[in-house]
Amino acid sequence: MSLPTLPSESRPPVRRNGWHVSADAERLVLARHWPPRFDLAAMSAFPPVRRGRLARQVRQDLWRLLKGLRGFSPVIEIAAAEGGVRLQAGGRVDGAVPAGTADRIKALLDDPAHRARWIGWARERT
């Protein structure tokens, strides 16, 4: 599975604390290596939130889940969607991907406790 063409391809992504961040009005991509690649991924929908905060929180928990997977490098993509945002979490794997790894990512994204913490941290302030 490959990441679709990223926005602002002519402009290199901003690098913050070793992470590449590419963002425009419609989409944000957070990746350790550039260009990003999804060798495995899962998706989930979220209410309107601050995309950068959501991406960082999900990336941290995704890393905690898969840090033992040799050659894993997280990638988070958040795109605008009707009624909120669509998040794709996964990443690049230099090596074999064990069966069921994408299901583990989906279970993380659907976990009510994690979602509550992520949404609470990233919710839009008014």
Note the pLDDT tens digit of each residue in 42-101.
999 999 999 999 999 999 999 999 999 999 999 999 999 999 999 999 999 998 899 999
Kindly indicate the confidence band of residue 10, based on its pLDDT and cuts at 50, 70 and 90.
very low
Give the pLDDT score at 3: 40
Counting Cα atoms < 13 Å in the Cβ hemisphere of 87 gives 31
Give the pLDDT score at 4: 44
CA angle 100, 49, 75 (to 5 degrees): 35
Residue 64: Cβ-neighbour burial (10 angstroms; 0-12, 13-18, 19+): exposed
Closest CA to 56 of 126, 123, 118: 118
What global pTM score does this model have? 0.85
Kindly indicate the confidence band of residue 115, based on its pLDDT and cuts at 50, 70 and 90.
very high
Give the pLDDT score at 110: 97
- More confident position, 18 or 7: 18
Average pLDDT over residues 36-40: 93
Quick check: 102 pLDDT over 70? yes
* Structure tokens that stand for 14 in this block: 């901003």
Give the pLDDT score at 5: 41
Residue ranges per domain, the chain? Answer: 14-118
- Secondary element (H or E) of residue 65: helix 51-66
